[in-house]
Amino acid sequence: MKIAVPDLISNSYFPVPAAVELGFFEKEGLDMSYELLFPVDDANKALRDGKFDFVGGSSHSTLAAFPEWEGAKLVCALSQGMYWLLIARTDLNIALGDTDALKGLNIGAAPWVELGLKRLLMEAGLDPEKDVNIAPVPGTIAPGVSFGVTAAKALEEGKIDAFWANGMGAEVAVTRGVGTVVLDPRRGVGPAASFNYTQPTLATTQKMIDENPDAVAAAVRAIVNVQKALKADISLATEVGRKSFPEAETALIAQVVERDLAYYDATITPEFVAGMNAFSRDMGLMTGDPSYEDVVATQFSSLWK
C-alpha cells in the first residue's frame, strides 16, 4: 500500500513517514510506503485514480479530486489546526501579527495552500487579490522538491518578500536569520477562525473504507501510535530524519516537531469540520453543507485516542 504526501522535508505530514520508517505500519500488518507528490491537488487526484491508497495532506484539498466530498473521507488527523506560517524577510522589520505591513509584498505559496492565506488576509481586512501578490515560489513546481525548504532559499536570495509554508521552511529561514514569523494561526497569531480552515489529515476513498476497513483501521492505529511514540521520545524524529531528510533539515526536525507535539492528536472534531466547510464554501471549493459523517469516517473514531 502507498501514501502520497505533498511535502516531505517538513513537519506538516511527519507522522506518515515516521510511521513507515519506525515500523508502526509494519506492526499493524501493513506493507506501507510513502511517496512525495506535489502539489497536493495532484496527490488527491492520484488517490482518486487508484494510484495511491491514502493521502497525508491538507484536509480541504480532498475537494480537489472529490467534489462535495463524494467518494472520499478523512480517517484521522495527523495533527490539529492550520499549520502553515507566514515568514517575511527580516530586513522588512514586520512585527508579529502586523498584517497591514504585508501590503505590496510578493508572497510565495503553494497551490491550494495559498487559499488558507488568502482567507486569513480577508479576515484581517486585506484584499488578497489587490493588496498583495501571492504566487508559487520559483523552482517549487518540480518533482522531488520540498516547498518549505525551497521557499526559505528563495527568501534568502531575495526572490520573494515572504512565504506561507510549513514549520520546517519557517525554521530554516529563522535559523539562518533571513526570515521572521509574522503569522502563525496554529498558535493564535492570526484571526481565531483560521485555526479550523484546514489541518493535516489522512484521507482515503470510500471504496477503500467499504472494501478494506481492516486495513484502514490498521493505518489509523499506526498514526495514533506514532504520535504517542514521538510525544514520549522526541529523538525518534531525528531517527526518521536520518532515513529520509538531508543533513541540514535532519538537524532541525526534532525541534520543529517538538513544538508541534501539543497538536499531535488524531481526533477530527465536528467543530473543525464546520469551520473547514465554511472556509471551503467561502473560497469556492464547494457549494453544499456536508454533514460531519459525510466528511469523516466515524467508524474509526474509537481508535483516535
Helix/strand/coil for 13: coil
The length of the chain in residues reads 305
Model confidence at 143, pLDDT cuts 50, 70, 90, reads: low
Q: Please, what's the b/e burial string for 124-139 (b: 16 or more CB within 10 A of its CB; e: otherwise)?
A: bebebeebbebebbee
Share of the chain above pLDDT 70, in %: 98
**Is residue 64 a contact partner of residue 44, using CB atoms and an 8 Å limit?**
yes
- CA 114: distance to chain centroid? 12
Single-letter residue type at 162: A
Cell of 40: 497536493
pLDDT for the residue 144: 56
Model confidence at 138, pLDDT cuts 50, 70, 90, reads: confident
- Which has the higher per-residue pLDDT, 237 or 140? 237
pLDDT for the residue 139: 73
Is residue 18 packed enough to be buried (19+ CB in 10 Å), middle (13-18) or exposed (0-12)?
buried
> What is the spatial distance between Cα 243 and Cα 20, in angstroms, rounded to a whole number?
11
User: Which helix (H) or strand (E) covers residue 210, if one does?
Assistant: helix 206-211
Cell of 96: 508579529
Cell of 21: 520508517
**Is residue 33 a contact partner of residue 51, using CB atoms and an 8 Å limit?**
no
pTM of the model: 0.95
pLDDT for the residue 258: 97
pLDDT for the residue 178: 96
Residue bearing cell 526518521:
240
pLDDT in tens, 171-189: 999 999 999 999 999 999 9
Cell of 165: 509554508
Average pLDDT, the chain: 95
> What is the spatial distance between Cα 86 and Cα 162, in angstroms, rounded to a whole number?
7
Share of the chain above pLDDT 90, in %: 90
Single-letter residue type at 106: N
Q: Does residue 63 register a pLDDT over 80?
A: yes
Q: Which of 273, 207, 216, 211 is nearest to 71 (CA)?
A: 207
30: number of Cβ within 10 Å: 19
Relative orientation angle of helices 235-244 and 213-232, to the nearest 10 degrees: 120
pLDDT in tens, 199-245: 999 999 999 999 999 999 999 999 999 999 999 999 999 999 999 88
Q: Any idea which of 143-157, 234-248, 291-305 has the lowest mean pLDDT?
A: 143-157
Which domains, ranges and CATH numbers included, belong to the chain? 2-81+198-303 (3.40.190.10), 85-194 (3.40.190.10)
Q: What is the mean pLDDT of residues 242-262?
A: 93
